[in-house]
Structure 1
Amino acid sequence: MEVVLAETAGFCMGVDLALRRLDKLVIAAAGQPLYNLGPIIHNPQVLKKYAEQGVIIVDAPEDVPDGACVVIRAHGITRQVEASLRARNVVIKDATCPRVKKAQLLIGRHTQDGQELLLYGEEDHPEVKGLVSYAGNGHFVFGSEEELDGYELSKDKSYVLAAQTTQDRVLFDVMAKRLSDDPELDVTVLETICDATKLRQKEASELADEVDFMIVIGGYNSGNTRRLAQVVAERGTPCCHVETVAELSLSDLAQYRKIGVTAGASTPRILIDEVLDALKGL
């Protein structure tokens, strides 16, 4: 059996920066409680490790005690929540991914003159909630081309089209071209999909064409990991999405001649190595 690991598998720049910052804060806290406003990233194994080090995840800003230190998650938070935190006696450490922060500011700047935001993304995802909070004149969130088709656009309005940073770049480009080519619509397209996301999806697609089976490793609640599995499935390659090696059926995998492995942007290297070791053991 040949096992091929995608070069881009594992932590992206934004996740790596966020966790490095949290590591330093944990050391500085010296055992005192440290609060995360929402999970720092979407990986249960990573979150378990930090919980054991005294990091407490809270869902609302009012759950952070006065005088405490609160870390903003890599996905970012809404503009309103950030304002409520800054109005209180808490210490704020912002671990928002720079790509997400850039997307927030771009949306804010390009919707300040009356434009409506059209956002390609998962409506319930924390990053999306943060992004739309920067839209100054209303927004519409859609997760597919069909949902966008069902939304009535007016030739008398101006629109800004953007995307959650981890969305499918190929589909976004198709929708962007169609809207931009419509002479009756005024649409400004923002490039907010992360380069790392585009590269991962491209590599996963190419690798899927070369192997007999693909394994995608990462949290089930990780949007970018789920999309990697989707990209592979669209190539027609058999695929499984797992969080840990314990979920693999190794006896079933032994039948394949060549297996590809990739992982989401919030998947730690140790989980990837455990899968690779198990496959090599076959």
Structure 2
Amino acid sequence: MEVIRAETAGFCMGVDMALNKLNRLMQENGEGRDVRTLGPIIHNPQVLARYEKQGVFTADTPEDVPRGAHCVIRAHGIPRHVEDRLRKRGVTILDATCPRVKKAQTLIAKHSDQGRTLLLYGEAEHPEVKGLLSYAGDDAIVFGSPEELDPEHLDPSRPYVLAAQTTQDREIFDELMNAMQADPNLDVVVLQTICDATKLRQEEAMHIAMDVDCMVVVGGRISGNTRRLVQVCEAKGARCVHVETPEELPLEELRTCARIGLTAGASTPGDIIDAVEAALLSI
């Protein structure tokens, strides 16, 4: 069996930066003592479990963070009003928001302040999306697919700004952007908020998927960008298996494959990818 491993598999820059900030804080503060993250710092259960063993726990709300503690803002960012509540707790804040997400927040705020209505392509319940929406005021439309946004129902008299969750499918977004910009009745400013690392990861995964018998995608099931990798591979007609750990691999089913592609989400640590690859090569 041959395993084709994607070069872009694993931690992206934003995740790597967030975890490095947390690790430095733990070293300075002594094994995670009085350190919390507001929401999961990244969407990978195995990484979160490792930090819990070192005493770093996830707080669901600002009120769950003890006064005087250190609190790390997750890579996905948090809504404005939640950050305000956190500051009122008197905690020491370490902002580990991904720079790309932070830039998207800033751009959305700028255009929303100019009176434009935000059209946001993303998962409504995703923490990054909730954070982005908080920078758009009360005037925003979230849609999970182009089919959910009917341009004919948009008001030609209103100016809009189109943006996307940073881990969304670039091809779909570009098609939507082109269609809206081609409509002479719409006043739409487009923000290129999809991360370049996401684009490269998806393009490489699709390229590999077209040349193998099966794709294995490694990463947390709560990870939006990992689920998107599964979707883009399946869109190319590839059989796809999504696992979090090597123990979940359907090894007997994969024995019939001569070539297997391997990629992973942006919050998947390298040691888990290595373990999955070793399991595949052992078949």
TM over 0.5: yes
Q: Which residue of 2 is the match for residue 24 of structure 1? A: 24
- State the distance in 2 between where 1:132 and 1:219 align: 24
Q: Which residue of 2 is the match for residue 211 of structure 1? A: 212
Q: Which residue of 1 is the match for residue 11 of structure 2? A: 11
- State the distance in 1 between where 2:151 and 2:178 align: 17
Contact 1:10 1:267 in 2 (8 A): yes
TM-superposed CA distance for 1:89, in Å, is 1.2
For 2:39, give the aligned amino acid: G
Q: List 4+ stretches of structure 1 deviating above 3 A.
A: none
Alpha-carbon RMSD: 1.1
- State the distance in 2 between where 1:151 and 1:11 align: 40
Deviations along 1:174-230, one digit per CA (max 9) or x if unpaired, are 111111111111000000000000001101111001111100000000000000000
Contact 1:201 1:228 in 2 (8 A): yes
TM-superposed CA distance for 1:30, in Å, is 1.0
Contact 2:214 2:259 in 1 (8 A): yes
Normalized against structure 1, the TM-score is what?
0.98
Q: Which residue of 1 is the match for residue 258 of structure 2? A: 257
Structure 1 gaps, min length 5? none
TM-superposed CA distance for 1:27, in Å, is 1.5
- State the distance in 2 between where 1:71 and 1:20 align: 12
Q: Which residue of 2 is the match for residue 155 of structure 1? A: 156
For 1:258, give the aligned amino acid: R
For 1:46, give the aligned amino acid: V
Contact 1:61 1:84 in 2 (8 A): yes
- State the distance in 2 between where 1:142 and 1:150 align: 12
Deviations along 1:54-77, one digit per CA (max 9) or x if unpaired, are 111111111111111100000000
Q: Which residue of 1 is the match for residue 188 of structure 2? A: 187
For 2:199, give the aligned amino acid: K
TM-superposed CA distance for 1:151, in Å, is 7.5
- State the distance in 2 between where 1:158 and 1:150 align: 13
Count of residue pairs the alignment pairs up: 282
SS in 2 for 1:111: helix
TM-superposed CA distance for 1:232, in Å, is 0.5
SS in 1 for 2:41: coil
Q: Which residue of 2 is the match for residue 272 of structure 1? A: 273
TM-superposed CA distance for 1:150, in Å, is 7.4
- State the distance in 2 between where 1:137 and 1:180 align: 24
TM-superposed CA distance for 1:252, in Å, is 1.5
Normalized against structure 2, the TM-score is what?
0.98
Deviations along 1:111-162, one digit per CA (max 9) or x if unpaired, are 1121100000000000000001001351000001110127820011000000
Structure 2 gaps, min length 5? none
- State the distance in 1 between where 2:50 and 2:138 align: 41
Q: Which residue of 2 is the match for residue 238 of structure 1? A: 239
For 1:246, give the aligned amino acid: E
SS in 1 for 2:149: helix
